Structure 1
Amino acid sequence: MSEGAAVLTLEIAGAAALVLRPVRDDDAQDLYGLLTLCFAEFPGCFTDPHGDLPDLRAPATAIAGKPGGAFWAVEDERGRVGACVCVDFPEPGTAELHRLYVRADLRRRGLAERLVRLVEAHAAGQGARRVVFWSDTRFTNAHRLYERLGYVRAPGTRDLGDVSNSVEYFYAKELGAG
């Protein structure tokens, strides 16, 4: 699936078969809905499509402008986006994971891990030697997953100054490690 164009059926515990496919521009509403559901779990965490989520207005178009980048959606049995993940390449040899979100009813079944592994495989296929990303300090369950998968949190944080007053941790993993 390194090309970003394949469609795959995913089997996860306790769920109907899911479809993994590249995002389309018409996924924008579903993606906003997914992020809104995920953010609503954290007090003071909001989605602001006009200010801090401009790439989601036309997600396929946005990622197409990033050489080697890929953005995948996971559809549930009703065709709704229930998870997503994105990767791009901010500098040679480095992939950056973005937009890993899984709807609450699809969690704790290995889906997020599979999506991280997909990003890692795609990154390696594009010649990246490491994967990096920023994650909101409130996303503690996600941090446990990342650390279990071999990602290391760097000291310090960054303040985004967004509508949610987001503060983020930086994570990195050398590919081939962990």
Structure 2
Amino acid sequence: MTDFLIRPADDADGDAIAVLIAAAFAEYEGCVFDRAAEFPELDAIASHFAARGGTIWVAEADGEVIGSFALAPTRDADAPAGGMEIFKVYVARTARRRGVARALFERALTQAQAAGAPEIRLWTDTRFTDAHRFYERCGFHRHGEARECHDLSATWEYSYRLSLNPAAPSRLARIES
């Protein structure tokens, strides 16, 4: 699939991103999507990430949002200075395995590298095994123990990290293989 556009999200994209998240959660037993209780940032999603010093992008095809991907400075206390974190990685089921997530990741990776970030981190639901494989293909490694989120879905999350050491082999080359 190459017939999609990646653009910075605007606040009005929150509703379309909510649809992506709700659909992804519906694929897993016990995942509850409650926008008001757990995703209030969707009401002004671009402003939310801008206030954190980050960006959220969407992939669009035929005028419909089919993917999202956000990057912002990490707030983890143990993170290296300048570290980044990814959030809101969702792709519509019909658009998966067509390069959408990879293209969104490449956009975020380019921005992180341009900012001189030494590392990118993320947290992902332990149930999202397809996502784990994607992150690992992108060069991320699982780090530490799972954490409990104490949310409506009784979520446990894995931490993943990607070193952006300039001496390391290009992550983009690994994605292409």
TM range (shorter): 0.7 to 0.9
Q: What RMSD in Å do the two structures reach over aligned CA positions?
A: 1.3
> What displacement does 1:51 show?
2.1
Which of 11, 19, 43 aligns to 1:57? It is 43
Residue in 2 aligned with 1:105?
94
Residue in 1 aligned with 2:56?
71
Q: Is the 8 A contact 1:24 1:59 kept in 2?
A: yes
1:146-174 deviation digits (Å, cap 9, x = unpaired): 11221010131011011111100000010
Residue in 2 aligned with 1:32?
18
Q: Secondary structure at the match of 1:85?
A: strand
Residue in 2 aligned with 1:85?
69
Q: Secondary structure at the match of 1:154?
A: strand
Q: Is the 8 A contact 1:49 1:57 kept in 2?
A: no
Cα separation, 1, equivalents of 2:149 and 2:26? 18
Residue in 2 aligned with 1:94?
83
Cα separation, 1, equivalents of 2:74 and 2:93? 30
Q: Secondary structure at the match of 1:37?
A: helix
Residue in 2 aligned with 1:5?
none
Cα separation, 2, equivalents of 1:98 and 1:152? 16
Cα separation, 2, equivalents of 1:134 and 1:51? 19
1:56-113 deviation digits (Å, cap 9, x = unpaired): 111111112122x110011121x12110000000253201000110000000112212
Determine whether 1:122 maps to 2:111: yes
Q: Secondary structure at the match of 1:29?
A: helix
When the two structures are superposed, what TM-score results if normalisation uses the length of structure 2?
0.86
Residue in 2 aligned with 1:9?
none
Q: Secondary structure at the match of 1:44?
A: coil
Relative to its length, the structure with more helix (as a share) is: 2
Residue in 2 aligned with 1:4?
none
Identical amino acids, percent of aligned pairs: 35
When the two structures are superposed, what TM-score results if normalisation uses the length of structure 1?
0.86
Would you say how many aligned residue pairs link Structure 1 and Structure 2?
Answer: 162
> What displacement does 1:136 show?
0.3
Q: Is the 8 A contact 1:87 1:98 kept in 2?
A: yes
Q: Secondary structure at the match of 1:45?
A: coil
